Amino acid sequence: MTKLLPATPDNIHRAAAVLAGGGLVAMPTETVYGLAADAENDAAVRAMFAAKGRPADHPVIVHLADRALVDDFAADVPPAARKLAAAFWPGPLTLVLIRGSRISDLVTGGLATVGLRVPSHPVAQALLREFGGPLAAPSANRFGRVSPTTAAHVLSDLAGRVDLILDGGECSVGLESTIVDCSAAGAVGNALRGVPDLRGVPDRQGVPASVAILRPGAITADQIAAVLQSPIAESAAAAPRVPGSLPSHYAPRARVELVSAEELLPRAMQLASSGEKIAVLTRQRPDIGDQQVAWLPIPADHAEWAASLYGLLRQVDELGCDAALATLPVEAGIGVAIADRLRRAAGPRSP
Ligand code: TXA
Ligand code: MG
């Protein structure tokens, strides 16, 4: 049975006890809701993978209460990672580092690296402190589906599969954390570069050790470059290097088509006239008097668009639409992350 409880101090206390007993707790973070398990309890981590329906070779992020704990869980923390942690933790940033000995193969999917994050959400913070250890937490959705940004989203995906959901309201960022790979920027990463079976440390033989963005998010490439005082590639959307990632990640059931602003109305009418139920994600109400077309309004502000995107994609399915039409934002700031998620939602589906 899944309990859905408001994130009061009493219930956070209760949730910490569930985690200590090897149970699963869905917790709000500033990005999306996470499905938390004791990262040092293999049985709990296995149960978490099973609840999500997630393949075992897909690594999960380990959440820590404080950036001072990073050395307990990473074997090699290069200066670039320390600078980024000091600038952005707690917050929506995950650092990929060479893993420490306390991190099990189950958590990393056998990789030599681990993704670490210190979330800023007060409920996640309180739970991490009360629990007193690292929490492995992927997004609290069924594998391959849209990440949850409310407790109700979690319930609709994981009812009966998670012991307790802490309701902390809507997530403020609404897109998953920016993932920055620093694993090749330190001494150990350098020594290991080019080792063929070392999955997770990108093969950068002949390429200078560098820091790379694996997944864009609310912390932008410009912000990262400013802290590191060197430019950083924004290549994630074109060439995702996150192991095990599928193109159709973050997708609703409905088909998603990305179109230009000019194509949007003609395409919507064409599909509707062929009998499909269509949703259009646009800022202004489209001028179509057709019942087969549902309008899901997009906020003008990019941060608000990011925060509402997953809720809108879920609504597309709730409305029973066959397809959703959307336009891409200008790819600057968090617009890069919005465009990345929309492209993945529109990407080829696995069978
Ligand atoms: O905002 C977030 O990051 C949320 C909240 C709950 O913290 N978590 C999240 O987790 O999005 P998940 O498991 O849905 O996505 C984590 C991504 C996966 O694509 C995974 O491949 C990547 O992080 N990842 C984890 N560890 C990694 C590693 N060692 N190397 C490369 N990628 C890694
Ligand atoms: Mg996820």
Domain boundaries, the chain: 1-245, 255-345
What are the pLDDT digits (tens) for 229-254? Answer: 988 876 544 343 444 455 566 789 99
pTM of the model: 0.92
Of 122-131, 133-142, 156-165, 189-198, least confident by mean pLDDT is 189-198
> Coil, strand or helix: which one is 14?
helix
Q: Is 286 in the pocket of ligand 1 (CB under 6 A)?
A: no
Q: List, in sequence order, the alpha helices (H) in 32-150.
A: 42-52, 70-73, 79-88, 105-108, 122-131
d(CA 250, CA 57) in angstroms, rounded, equals: 18
Contact between 347 and 248 under an 8 Å Cβ cutoff? The reply is: yes
CATH number given to 1-245:
3.90.870.10
Count how many Cα atoms sit within 13 Å of the Cα of residue 260 in the half-sphere of its side chain: 2
Three-state secondary-structure class, residue 126: helix
Quick one: DSSP state of residue 332? S
User: Mean pLDDT, to the nearest integer, of 169-188?
Assistant: 91
Which ligand ends up closest to the CA of 60? 1
Measure 137 CA to ligand 1 centroid, in angstroms. 8
Averaged pLDDT of the chain: 90
Q: How far is CA 6 from CA 65, 139, 167, 289, in A?
A: 21, 19, 5, 42
CA of 327 to the centre of ligand 2 (A): 23
Which numbered ligand comes closest to the C-alpha of 27?
A: 1
Q: Which helix (H) or strand (E) holds 157?
A: helix 151-158
Mean pLDDT of 291-307: 94
44-102 confidence digits (pLDDT tens): 999 999 999 988 888 999 999 999 999 999 998 999 999 999 999 999 999 999 999 99
The contacts of residue 319 (CB under 8 Å, 6+ apart) are 277, 279, 294
Say how many Å lie between the first and final Cα of the chain, rounded. 31
In short, whether 183's Cβ falls inside 6 Å of ligand 1 is no
Nearest CA to ligand 1 atom 20: 59
- The best mutation among 25, 33, 35, 61 to test binding of ligand 1, ranked by most ligand atoms within 8 Å of the C-beta, falls on 61
The whole-number pLDDT of residue 208 equals 43
Confidence of residue 192 (pLDDT cuts 50, 70, 90): low
Whether the CB of 282 sits within 6 Å of ligand 1: no
Provide the CA 97 distance to its chain's centre, in angstroms. Answer: 17
- Collapsing DSSP to helix, strand or coil, 13 comes out as helix
| Close Cβ partners of 188 (under 8 Å, ≥ 6 residues apart) | 75, 76, 98
84 lines ligand 1 (CB under 6 A): no
How far apart, in Å, are the Cα atoms of 347 and each of 55, 144, 225, 271, 295? 20, 12, 29, 19, 22
- Looking at residue 288, what is its pLDDT? 78
Q: Which ligand ends up closest to the CA of 176?
A: 1
Name the one residue in this structure whose structure tokens are 């959703």. Answer: 324
pLDDT of 351:
58
CATH architecture assignment, domain 255-345: 3-Layer(aba) Sandwich (3.40)
Q: State whether the beta carbon of 150 lies less than 6 angstroms from ligand 1.
A: no
Gap between the Cα atoms of 77 and 311, Å rounded: 36
Closest ligand 1 atom to 111 CA: 29
Take residue 212 and report the two structure tokens written for it. 């790379």
Per-residue pLDDT band for 260 (boundaries 50, 70, 90) equals very high
